[in-house]
Homo-oligomer: A and B are copies of this chain.
Amino acid sequence: MIGLTIGQLGKATDTKVETVRYYERIGLLAAPGRTSANYRAYGADHLSRLSFIRRARDLGFSLDQVRALLDLASDHSRDCGSVDMLANEHMADIDRKLADLTALRRELSALINSCKGGTISQCRIVEALAPRG
């Protein structure tokens, strides 16, 4: 028990206080002990777990994926294949998003290049958006 306040924990993990409480509410972070004034008092275990959560979130894992990762990580004797699988699935997600965004970018870029100025009534962007407008 090192007795961090919620604000200190937040600062240490770059997490807003409300977010920490939110993680507690949804059962991702265990409820800590309380001081006599009913303040949350966090220990080293909370700090490391929240660090894990934030790092995984930064890498784009959903809260559900983070939960799964935490479950997997807690069993040290388990084969790490399942962790690898989760990471690879997430990688595939990212690749899909990249492809989508790239296609979008191309289309929007073509649209923007088609605009040669003038008034809205001649604007190719507006025209392209509303084919029968």
Q: Which residues of B contact A77 (CB under 8 A)?
A: 119-121
- Determine if A18 is an interface residue (Cβ-Cβ < 8 Å): no
How distant is the Cα of A126 from the Cα of B48 in the complex, in angstroms? Answer: 12
- Determine if A64 is an interface residue (Cβ-Cβ < 8 Å): no
Interface residues of A in 111-127 (CB under 8 A from B): 111-112, 115, 117-123, 125-126
Contact B60 A104 (CB under 8 A): yes
Which interface class (under 10, 10 to 19, 20 to 34, 35 or more) fits A? 35 or more
Q: Which B residue sits closest to A66, measured CB to CB?
A: B129
Given A55-B129, A105-B94, A123-B80, A88 and B73 contact (CB-CB distance below 8 Å) = no
- Per-position binary interface string of chain A over residues 75-109, scored 1 when its CB falls under 8 Å from any chain B CB and 0 otherwise: 11111110110011011001101100110110111
